[in-house]
Structure 1
């Protein structure tokens, strides 16, 4: 199959979780013989932090503006089997209109930010990546979030056929690796700063650092403000290249997953970082949200923390118990949460739509 994607960015992972997900999916699709053309608008913040990509079957098209790319995109759609527009695509409405006008491909919208989309709509805001007439013009809508999210997308945006397509991990890119001293941590956290999860980060990461001054905490991610409440034992990594994620996680006794407020409120929305850490064999402490138990069993494959004491109790756990939790999570991840598994689910959803159209 040939897939054409209009998305945020696959070439830069700086402050952009979409890139990691798409890279993993594209590797899995390429390994199965499929081709992907990924179109993204050039932006200065991503241009300064692009990664070298060597993914068989993937072609990237970085363009300066929509008018310049429209002819090339139109030509690409003529022999495409599926065309996908994602949330936070810089030219979402224009790309959606072009895709919906195309005769051949299955027309798909992939909302990688479903909780954000629904929360903004509930506040009376219209996300600028959505078509003005909603999602009824797409044959298939993929939602990064399960639970009640698909039905809410139908109600709020007229989506006709909605299927969850969760995050995933590429085990070849995220695996146990030799630890590095500068990433060594009793507790680590990898994530772009977001004001709506600062309270949870304060409770589950910063306060434990205050109460354990002899322990080492490592925080990696973009956009952390100058007035962030650093402590002497929190070490900061501003940009962690994707190739160093395995060493980062493998250097941690524990790593912390903190979910954004809208995602936690809706539930059934696992972060890609959760799968990455588990695939690297690192035990995970996570905030609690509905649906998490569908992905990992609390107490056996992951630990849930509601307050600082829960985190401190985990840090005091003996190594044998910690290693058992990590091993079980890695096994579950390799069984259920790989990009190969998600790519198969994507292809099955596309095939189902094509079969329905032909019936």
Structure 2
């Protein structure tokens, strides 16, 4: 089937944490016979920081972030069996919602694919005239990359016909163990862009731990941190491209995951970094959130911290042997249950069934 997908960027992970999720899911759908056409705006300098060239498995159109550029690509919405509007494109999000719903073919499956559901729901819940909330019941399907039962229930209460989580996962061909790289040596590393709804948790789980362990080394990668006050034992890297993620995860003694406020509050929302780190056999320390055991088992496949003091204690007591054992156990778990091949098969079954149901309804 032909899938037209309007998202932030397939080609660049620059200020775009959804890139690896898009790549993992859509490449698997392409392997299952779907024709993917991805439309992304030329915005936020992403095209100047590409991680990949246009892949063989998808056609990619980069459009100008102008009203004229938007109109030129929305005209293509009527040519697909499945039309997807992803959350967080960053420019013309409201217009894309309207355009996808208005221009899709009558028998096409219309999907809102939310890569930050907790934040989206918080935004639209108190705004009845928000374009997405107003037109949400017109989408045939809402897909999310996390959130579990709380997000499904919330979306259905707001009028979604159906909401299904398709969790992010591991692409073993992209993220896997590699040799250590001295550039990324540290006792604890953390990779994330600086965002308002995560900063306080980064202060608690990462910076507080660093301050408590002045004799240990901490490494922080991601955009936006250069103006943030840091303990002396924290080294800043700036943007870390996806090509360096394996070495970033394999080299330090442990790697930290810190959820954004909204995802931590809702739970059932493992970040892409969780699977990338586990796929590289890193010893992962994550902040505590509901549902972690559905993906990795605490104390054997991942270490869980309630606060910065817990993080510091994990780092202080971690031996090379224990770190290695946790990393190997986490790798085995995600390979067995949480690869994009697993998610792609799930999404393929769901989409084919939904398209068939839509066509039957329209024909009747």
Q: TM-score, normalised by structure 1?
A: 0.92
| Structure 2 gap segments, 5+ residues each | none
The answer on whether the counterparts of 1:29 and 1:340 sit within 8 Å (CA) in structure 2 is no
SS across alignment from 2:210: helix
- Distance in 2 (CA, whole Å) between partners of 1:320 and 1:286 is 19
Q: How far apart are 1:299 and its partner, in Å?
A: 1.2
2:302 corresponds in structure 1 to 302
Q: Which position in structure 1 is the counterpart of 2:278?
A: 278
- Superposed, 1:146-225 pairs within 5 Å as 146-156=148-158, 158-224=159-225
Correspondence list, 1:12-51, <5 A: 12-51=12-51
**Is the counterpart of residue 113 in structure 1 residue 93 in structure 2?**
no
Contact (CA 8 Å) 1:220, 1:240: kept in 2 or not?
Answer: yes
CA positional deviation for 1:153: 0.7
**Would you tell me which structure has more helix in proportion to its own residues?**
2
Give how far 1:336 is off: 1.9
Secondary structure of the corresponding residue to residue 28 of structure 1:
helix
Aligned residue number for residue 333 of structure 1: 334
Give the distance between the partners of 1:126 and 1:24, measured in 2 at CA.
34
Residue equivalent to 1:269: 269
Superposed, 1:116-127 pairs within 5 Å as 116-122=119-125, 124-125=126-127
> What is the distance in 1 between the residues matched to 2:169 and 2:138?
27
Aligned residues: 354
CA distance in 1 between counterparts of 2:32 and 2:350 reads: 16
Please identify, of 274-283 and 319-328, the stretch whose mean Cα deviation from structure 2 is larger: 319-328
Q: Would you say the 8 A contact 2:170–2:340 is kept in 1?
A: yes
Aligned partners of 1:72, 1:205: CA distance in 2, in Å? 42
C-alpha spacing 1:308/1:132, structure 2 compared with 1 (3 Å): closer
In structure 2, distance between residues paired with 1:133 and 1:205: 39
Residues 246-268 of structure 1, C-alpha deviation per residue, up to 9 Å, x if partnerless? 01101111000001111111111
Gap regions ≥5 residues in structure 1: none
RMSD: 2.0
TM-score, reference length from structure 2: 0.91
Report what 2:93 is aligned to: 92
Query: Cα–Cα, structure 1 residues 21 and 162, in superposed 2: closer, same or farther, change >3 Å?
Result: same
Q: Distance in 1 between matches of 2:292 and 2:44?
A: 36
- Mapping of 1:52-71 within 5 angstroms? 52-64=52-64, 65-71=66-72
Counterpart residue number, 2:350: 349
Which residue does 1:245 correspond to in 2? Answer: 245
CA contact (8 A) 1:191 1:222 kept: yes
Structure 1 segment 303-322 matched on structure 2, within 5 A:
303-315=303-315, 316-322=317-323
Structure 1 distance, partners of 2:8, 2:129, is 14
Is the CA contact 1:15–1:223 (under 8 Å) kept in the aligned structure 2?
Answer: no
* Paired residue secondary structure (1:133): helix
Tell which deviates more after alignment, 163-172 or 276-285. Answer: 163-172
The CA distance in 2 between the partners of 1:56 and 1:172, in whole Å, is 15
CA distance in 2, matches of 1:211, 1:354: 55
Aligned partners of 2:63 and 2:73 also within 8 Å: no
Cα distance 1:66–1:168, how it changes in 2: closer, same or farther (>3 A)? farther
Paired residue secondary structure (2:306): coil
User: What is the deviation of 1:200?
Assistant: 2.5
